[in-house]
Amino acid sequence: MANPKIFIVEDEHRIARFLQIELEHEGYDTALEDNGRHALDRILKGGFDLVLLDVMLPEMDGMEVCRKVRETSDVPIIMLTARDDVSDMVSGLDLGADDYITKPFDMQELLARIRRALRSHYKENPSEGDENERLAIKDLIMIPSRYEVRVKGEFVQLTKKEYALLEFLLRNKRNVLSREQILQAVWGYDYNGDTNVVDVYIRYLRSKIDERYQEKYIYTVRGIGYAVRD
Residue ranges per domain, the chain? 5-121, 135-228
Exposure string over 176-190, b if 16+ CB within 10 A, otherwise e: ebbbebbbebbbeee
What local confidence, expressed as pLDDT, does residue 34 receive?
Answer: 97
Please give the Cα distance from 167 to 74 (Å, whole number).
Answer: 27
Question: SS3 sequence, the chain?
Answer: CCCCEEEEECCCHHHHHHHHHHHHHCCCEEEEECCHHHHHHHHHHCCCCEEEEECCCCCCCHHHHHHHHCCCCCCCEEEEECCCCHHHHHHHHHCCCCEEEECCCCHHHHHHHHHHHHHHHHHHCCCCCCCCCCEEECCEEEEHHHCEEEECCEECCCCHHHHHHHHHHHHCCCCCEEHHHHHHHHHCCCCCCCCHHHHHHHHHHHHHCHHHHCCCCEEEECCCEEEECC
**Are β-strands 140-143 and 135-137 bridged in parallel, bridged antiparallel, or unpaired?**
antiparallel
* Exposed / middle / buried, residue 73 (Cβ in 10 Å: 0-12, 13-18, 19+): middle
- CATH fold of 135-228, please? Arc Repressor Mutant, subunit A (1.10.10)
**Residues 6 or more apart whose Cβ sits within 8 Å of residue 127:** 144, 145
pLDDT > 90 fraction of the chain, expressed in percent and rounded: 49
Please give the Cα distance from 137 to 88 (Å, whole number).
Answer: 46
| 230 pLDDT higher than 70 | yes
What local confidence, expressed as pLDDT, does residue 129 receive?
Answer: 46
Q: What is the CA radius of gyration of the chain?
A: 19
Architecture of the CATH domain 5-121: 3-Layer(aba) Sandwich (3.40)
Nearest CA to 110 out of 20, 14, 200 is that of 20
Instruction: Report pLDDT digits (tens) over 86-140.
Output: 666 777 788 888 888 988 889 999 999 998 888 877 665 555 445 568 899 999 9
Please give the Cα distance from 46 to 42 (Å, whole number).
Answer: 7
Instruction: Report pLDDT digits (tens) over 140-162.
Output: 999 887 778 999 888 898 888 88
Q: Are 94 and 87 in contact (CB under 8 A)?
A: no
pLDDT > 70 fraction of the chain, expressed in percent and rounded: 88
